[in-house]
Structure 1
């Protein structure tokens, strides 16, 4: 009998595919996470950005670059304002998020409420997708109970949704990409099927991560090697992934060479950031008062010198100051380690109870994640070594340069999983025994 005459063959193609309970659970987590974020963002008017400084808080440098792209000035003008209309070409930010903002501006208008709502709605979609990735990471590494708790925690815990509903910036995009590349790595290591396709996707996703937040690229070699330790026959496919990754980032590097006549791999602001984090008067925090978007003198220097010369000048100043007072630099680095995990102090205009609650919540999540990681390493949980390298490498640049609370966000899906694992691993028999003794 031919396949076309087989009634079972026909039935498989005619009847709709029935979703498994697992698939329904994933979709439930996604839709709850998405709707909670979207409804809050809309009803709380989070999309109504402050209009101060000519809409600068609408995407900050990314918004300025997007405006320049839409209005015909190219990838430029990250600090343009009402006094300095154009500040010249830039590589201050990698291009993925500014291009996304520019696409939304092109359709819905520059700095409009509609554009703000759409960009935050995109954040809501990506953050909800991260909830599903968090669920899968927890399930694959720690079991279904941990996966379920981690997925719903990401979906519903306010601290995990704050950037999606409020910030027009790259954190939500980067976190979604990073969480899903971890899911992909877990699938590739455990299951050798579709190997070529998965390695190609691996290279593509890391290319997107590099064009969104290049700091995470420090983790790329570790992630690839971790897969190859189990899939040693996939070396040729890993080379394919590397070629695809390079194909993703090469146009941006080529553009920078053509515009600035120098090699700028992903972003060109390191020297300026070093000075803002380690210059005279530094205390471990970013000295925003000396930033071109706040200080008129710095802005004039940036615009007149051009970005490359300005960044080189500021970098040389930072290196000279660090060499002059290395103990001060080391002390600032230790402070930044603390701030990365315990929370960055907010301006004094916050009510003390709000600031206290924020610090407690931020620190509690870090402690739970770190203790969960230690327990997972001790017990040899799948991918615990990979998670260790992520916790070690992702913050390293920030320790030396500058730190914000949002810099921890790409690690937060892992913090969520490991925190859930920590509490799910509690010895209930001892708790019950203690309760019986106390009664």
Structure 2
């Protein structure tokens, strides 16, 4: 009896603290992954700017020291990394430990918030726990969560977007959504949009759905006005800085021309295999990937003038080849949800278990997209909020070349929609099997 009692107490303890246990396990497994891989440090444009902030106090040198002041992306996690480097030294052990803790913490926070989101929609606790366990324990994005997002904004964007969604769902559930609550949501959405515009589409989509569902038409104008004022307030400091520094209106980022040109040019439609084609284009025009491209950028007058020139060329090609552009856009959309194997080897060669990882991602995409479509029928119309976060972030990446880092924005939405749907299907199958008459 005593043994049965202790077993029952242990089971009750595990059930009561299951969320905390899964998050701790998620933390430990990511720490072990980081220890095995030497913890490394973030690289690329965001890391370069973080170093510039620490070294010179400037948001600059996106492509290399000397490339000048930048508006390549909006400042968010880069500022955090720059501040940490200022305090602890550039890429010192202490600095990287702090940044790794922040990156992992934000990643796990997004998983926890999505657990709360699906519970808010109506998913059973045990189903939500299965989804959280999959998010915490499957090693699908550890390289991003432990290393890259120390300087890049992916984990911060995912966590802030999940928070916006949770706020929207709670306002949707309220007897009468208050202006105070809506203003809080508008501020959170504006900050999230500033951090990452792709996930920003999803949070504003959720806000729009909230207005349609819970606000009478007579209150829409006031609500839209509040949302617009919050967005203007968030964008203004960065816009003013860019106007002063570059003498032009740049409310968000200046790199669209470069990204557009990487994906849309005569080179994109050659018979060369896509991996080789993209790498060749990357090394031809991207200033971070080749010295020749860097020197071309400097001769053009810097990163903004260079991106503008590339964008002009890309837009001219698009205007002259609308059919090919449409085909490429559909191809990019497919790659966003179903990435080809070569994407695991864009910047480094020799990625391990690519076939298995690709199979997991594709399976997750199939179930996640099905979940986005079917969960509103299972749990009611409030699950439409989930579908927005699965579908909307893909839209900006249709016209550029998607890579694995970009699609992290849909990782938690896809994981939770996929798992909740799969668990519901299995539960229905078991229920029907039990209901069948014996014999």
Shared fold (TM-score, shorter chain, > 0.5): yes
Could you say which residue in structure 2 is the equivalent of 1:337? Answer: 333
Deviates more, 1:319-328 or 1:353-362: 319-328
- Asked whether the 8 Å contact 2:53–2:83 carries over to 1, the reply is no
Could you say which residue in structure 2 is the equivalent of 1:3? Answer: none
1:250-329 mapped onto 2 (5 Å cutoff)? 250-282=236-268, 286=278, 287-290=281-284, 291-304=286-299, 305-329=301-325
Residue ranges of structure 2 left out of the alignment (5+ in a row): 1-12
Paired with 1:310 and 1:278, the residues of 2 have a C-alpha distance of 16
- Asked whether the 8 Å contact 1:365–1:415 carries over to 2, the reply is yes
Change beyond 3 A, Cα 1:95–1:353: closer
- Residue 224 (structure 2) pairs with residue 225 (structure 1): no
Could you say which residue in structure 2 is the equivalent of 1:394? Answer: 393
- Asked whether the 8 Å contact 2:198–2:392 carries over to 1, the reply is no
Q: Secondary structure at the match of 1:92?
A: coil
Could you say which residue in structure 1 is the equivalent of 2:147? Answer: 166
- Asked whether the 8 Å contact 2:243–2:249 carries over to 1, the reply is yes
- Asked whether the 8 Å contact 1:34–1:127 carries over to 2, the reply is no
Could you say which residue in structure 2 is the equivalent of 1:131? Answer: 111
Change beyond 3 A, Cα 1:412–1:383: farther
Q: Secondary structure at the match of 2:405?
A: helix
Paired with 2:175 and 2:142, the residues of 1 have a C-alpha distance of 34
> In the alignment, which of 209, 218, 223 is matched to residue 192 of structure 2?
209
Change beyond 3 A, Cα 1:249–1:24: farther
Could you say which residue in structure 2 is the equivalent of 1:191? Answer: 174
Could you say which residue in structure 2 is the equivalent of 1:34? Answer: 27
Scaled by the length of structure 2, the TM-score of the pair is: 0.83
Could you say which residue in structure 1 is the equivalent of 2:4? Answer: none
Residue ranges of structure 1 left out of the alignment (5+ in a row): 1-19, 50-57
Paired with 1:367 and 1:174, the residues of 2 have a C-alpha distance of 24
- Asked whether the 8 Å contact 2:189–2:204 carries over to 1, the reply is no
- Residue 416 (structure 2) pairs with residue 432 (structure 1): no
- Asked whether the 8 Å contact 1:276–1:288 carries over to 2, the reply is yes
> In the alignment, which of 147, 162, 167 is matched to residue 128 of structure 2?
147
Aligned length: 406
Q: Secondary structure at the match of 1:90?
A: coil
Paired with 2:374 and 2:141, the residues of 1 have a C-alpha distance of 23
Q: Secondary structure at the match of 1:243?
A: helix
Change beyond 3 A, Cα 1:353–1:40: closer
Change beyond 3 A, Cα 1:321–1:161: same
Paired with 1:256 and 1:317, the residues of 2 have a C-alpha distance of 24
**Per-residue deviation, 1:353:** 7.2
Residue deviations 1:311-349 (CA, integer Å, cap 9, x gap): 111011111222333333222222212211112423398
Change beyond 3 A, Cα 1:280–1:138: same
Could you say which residue in structure 2 is the equivalent of 1:371? Answer: 370
Paired with 2:382 and 2:139, the residues of 1 have a C-alpha distance of 27
Could you say which residue in structure 2 is the equivalent of 1:8? Answer: none
- Residue 111 (structure 2) pairs with residue 117 (structure 1): no
Paired with 1:155 and 1:359, the residues of 2 have a C-alpha distance of 19
Change beyond 3 A, Cα 1:301–1:34: same
**Per-residue deviation, 1:157:** 1.6
Paired with 1:387 and 1:254, the residues of 2 have a C-alpha distance of 35
**Per-residue deviation, 1:36:** 2.7
Change beyond 3 A, Cα 1:192–1:107: farther
Could you say which residue in structure 2 is the equivalent of 1:180? Answer: 163
Change beyond 3 A, Cα 1:245–1:319: closer
